Chain A
C-alpha cells in the first residue's frame, strides 16, 4: 500500500502549528480545557491497564 510519509509529516506539522497558534491566541483556561480531555483520558486508561 502506498503511503506518502512526507505528506503525512507536513500535515502533522501543519496541525501542530495551528494548535500552537490557538494556544498563543486564547486564554490558558480555554486551551487547557480541551487539552485536559485528552490528558485525563490517557491517564485514566493508563491506570486501568496497570
Chain B
C-alpha cells in the first residue's frame, strides 16, 4: 500500500472477483456521473478478510436523460437492475430508494446506488480518495469519515469491527481529530 499523496493510494494487490466486478461497473459509471464507493467494500479493498453481498456507491444527482443513458449502457454491458424496472428507476432513485445492479441472471454481488444528498457526502463525492489498482482506478470515501460513520451511524458488530480494522490498518496514516470531527458531524 503506497500513499502517493493525501488523495491517492496505490494498491499492488492481486485482484479478486469482487474487485474486478466493481472495476468493471465503475468504468461504466464514471463515463456518466461522479461516484464514490463507501462502506463494506472499502474495508475489503484494503484487506479485511470478509465478504459482502453488495457494494455501496453514491452518485451525483443526474438529469433523467443522462440517467437513462447510464441505465442503457449498463444493460448493454450485461447488467440488470434487480429491484426495479427501467421505467421506475429514476424516480425511485430520487425518492431515496437505492437501485441494485447485478450481472444478468445473478443476484450477488450487486452494486447498490444511492444519490449523494447529505452535505458531507456531496463534499467527498467532489473530491474522493483515489485508489490506483493494476487494472484501473476506484474512487472511494476518505478513511476518516468511513470510520466515523461506521462507529456513529451504523454501529452493528460488523461495522464496529470494520472501523476497528481501518483504525489498525491505517494507524499513523489517519487523522484521529478528523475522525472525532466527523463523528460530531454525523451525530447532528
Contacts and interface: CB of A to CB of B under 8 A. Distances in A.
A47 B106 contact: yes
Interface of A: 9, 12-13, 16-17, 19-21, 23-24, 27-29, 31-36, 38-40, 42-44, 46-47, 49-50
9 contacts: A17-B168, A19-B165, A24-B168, A28-B14, A31-B13, A32-B15, A32-B47, A43-B16, A50-B105
A35 B106 contact: no
Secondary structure of the A contact surface, majority rule: helix
Contact of A19 (B47, B109, B157): B47
Contact of A38 (B14, B51, B107, B157): B51
Contacts of A38: 49-51
Secondary structure of the B contact surface, majority rule: loop
Given A38-B51, A43-B108, 4 more contacts: A19-B47, A19-B165, A36-B14, A46-B51
B169 interface: yes
Nearest to A12: B161
Interface of B: 1, 11-18, 21, 44, 46-51, 53, 105-109, 157, 161, 164-165, 168-169, 171
A24 B171 contact: yes
Which 5 residue pairs spanning A and B have beta carbons closest together?
A20-B168, A32-B13, A42-B51, A50-B107, A23-B47
A40 B55 CA distance: 15
